[in-house]
Structure 1
Amino acid sequence: MVFGRRTRIWAGALVVACAVLMGPSAPAGTLFARPLPAEAVKDVVPHRVMTWNICNPCDKSNLDRAREIATYAPQVIGLQEACVRDVERIRSHLRRFYGLVYHVEYGTVLQDWGRCGGVPWNPGAYGQAILSAAPLTDPVSVEYPDGGSEDRGYMAVTATVGGQSVRVFNTHLAQRRQEAVRADQTKALAAEVARYDRAIVLGDFNAVPDAPELTPLWKLAADADPRCRPVYTGGCLPTTDWQSKFDYVFLRGIVPRGHRVHPTPYSDHHLLHADLDIDHDGTRAEQ
């Protein structure tokens, strides 16, 4: 169930009012959510997908992360560097403060006490997650044979986008300066993506568009940003604080209607979302 914008605005205003009334006497740990900005969308956008590396460990508020997501309210969100505990809190805040209900599937590949907390015998799971306003089916989580300096993998689900069923992938490739490892990872990912006539591939690829290791994906799909191609043109918007294009919404058999990049103080990666035309076949990227 998704509430209208008026309900969401009233909920945010009520939270702020309570904060003013309670002041310093509020119990420790009480959460107060800021209202959404004026430009926030009214409801979940059914044809919108988003990818966001939320940065971990970065000591950022999950309430602030939830507010960022609620501002653009995509139908499907792929998160990277995601701890299960953080994702559960983000989902809770989205519902409690902004009236947005998201389903979730995880593609965790690492049990990491240092990143995700917990206790040594029960550390928090770390990796990818996909959130969706509609139920998700057929989840798959695959760890790459070689993750590089840290275990990495991809996940896939069948999701509803624009009223249509589509296969959605989410990945986080090996860290920078590990080109050979990423090349093997993209080959493995592309082999799975190629099984579907229509697919959306979200993620942090740790590589610029003309990096050779991305070639297997460029042969199958185009980026939601029409200015981004496997040859350098200088037209790609950066998606990181260091002004590199590392984050992608690759589309196979789907046409992009528009995309936006939103810098955020809550991660070293920007939010990237794309609005899609699911009803029409896409054209493949130039070879």
Structure 2
Amino acid sequence: MLVGAVVVGCVALLGPSAPGGAPSAGPLPAGAVGDVVPNRVMTWNICNPCETGDADRAAEIATYAPQVIGLQEACVRDVERIRDHLERLYGLVYHVEYGTVLRNWGRCGGVPWSPGAFGQAILSAAPMTDRVNVEYPDGGSEDRGYMAVTTMVGGRSVRVFNTHLAERRQEAVRAGQTGVLAAAVARHDRAIVLGDFNAVPDAAELSPIWALAEDTDPRCHPSNGATCEPTTDWHSKFDYVFLRGVTPLEHHVERTPYSDHHMLHTDVDPA
């Protein structure tokens, strides 16, 4: 009886990361690129916990096939399955690095003595080197941090950062976090900063990042008259591709039924 109770408890604790049956490769929408776009980068908060299958998430990514994808609210098990689906179902091969900062079975399933790891992840079609994973000194209501890797974008070596800042109504905490992140970004002449910043463009706490980089949308800046396309279901821009020493070419915000954040992808010229 004790063994049976433990097994049942473990199954119950698997949570939203449990696979929902064997995936099959459905047709991608018209206009899907079909192969990795070497100068395209994407940021996407994939929403967790959410009742979403990883095969669906993989199909969304495969439609636009960026060279580099920064994911937030990512469980290691989910990312492993997303990467596997991308390769098996769509022939898209990605390397992966993790920037997990929290181990919590409530977020990522698993069992209490071996919970899933939660945080950021970067998928890149090219190998990644020099990974760093930094937890912010103050995460606010939940541990938060940033990760960074060096990889190839558009044929050039670029330092890529991926972060998720503290939740809304925690402006002072985010101000401390952007200070830490900006100090790391400033050390690189060519950098791409992806992430969910949980702040609108004119929020004071984003000032250290704006001082170093520009948004991929040249119309979007911290002034009151800026035109910034929303990236969330509540019609706010919280998701960014900040560029330092990299030229934006074309960007798109893609709505998705699988998260409360939209996908933001951009083609760039790192030369």
CA distance in 2, matches of 1:249, 1:176: 19
Q: Within 5 Å, give how 1:1-287 maps onto structure 2.
A: 29-279=21-271
Q: Quick one: percent identity of the two aligned structures? A: 77
- For 1:48-93, what per-residue CA distance to the aligned partner results, in whole angstroms no more than 9, with x for missing partners? 0000000000020100000000000000000000000000000010
**TM-superposed deviation, 1:237:** 0.4
- Residues 227 and 233 in structure 1, CA contact (< 8 A), matched pair in contact too: no
- Residues 48 and 273 in structure 1, CA contact (< 8 A), matched pair in contact too: yes
Deviates more, 1:199-208 or 1:33-42: 33-42
- For 1:127-176, what per-residue CA distance to the aligned partner results, in whole angstroms no more than 9, with x for missing partners? 00000001000000000000000000000000100010010000000000
Structure 2: state its 5+ residue gaps: 1-19
Q: Which residue of 2 aligns with 1:21?
A: none
- Residues 133 and 148 in structure 2, CA contact (< 8 A), matched pair in contact too: yes
CA distance in 2, matches of 1:30, 1:119: 23
CA distance in 1, matches of 2:231, 2:266: 13
**TM-superposed deviation, 1:199:** 0.3
**TM-superposed deviation, 1:221:** 0.3
CA distance in 2, matches of 1:29, 1:236: 39
- Residues 48 and 75 in structure 1, CA contact (< 8 A), matched pair in contact too: yes
CA distance in 2, matches of 1:233, 1:66: 36
CA distance in 2, matches of 1:155, 1:29: 32
CA distance in 2, matches of 1:246, 1:146: 20
Which 4+ residue blocks in structure 1 deviate beyond 3 angstroms?
Answer: none
Match of 2:219, SS?
coil
State the superposition RMSD in angstroms: 0.9
- For 1:215-271, what per-residue CA distance to the aligned partner results, in whole angstroms no more than 9, with x for missing partners? 000000000011110112251100000000000000001110010000000000000
Q: What's the TM-score once normalised by structure 1's chain length?
A: 0.87
Structure 1: state its 5+ residue gaps: 1-27, 280-287
Q: Which amino acid aligns with 1:160?
A: M
- Residues 148 and 159 in structure 2, CA contact (< 8 A), matched pair in contact too: yes
Deviates more, 1:35-44 or 1:118-127: 35-44
Q: Which residue of 2 aligns with 1:15?
A: none
Count of aligned pairs between the two proteins = 252
CA distance in 2, matches of 1:210, 1:137: 34
Q: Which amino acid aligns with 1:36?
A: L
- For 1:3-24, what per-residue CA distance to the aligned partner results, in whole angstroms no more than 9, with x for missing partners? xxxxxxxxxxxxxxxxxxxxxx
- Residues 248 and 269 in structure 2, CA contact (< 8 A), matched pair in contact too: yes
CA distance in 2, matches of 1:260, 1:77: 14
Q: Which amino acid aligns with 1:150?
A: E
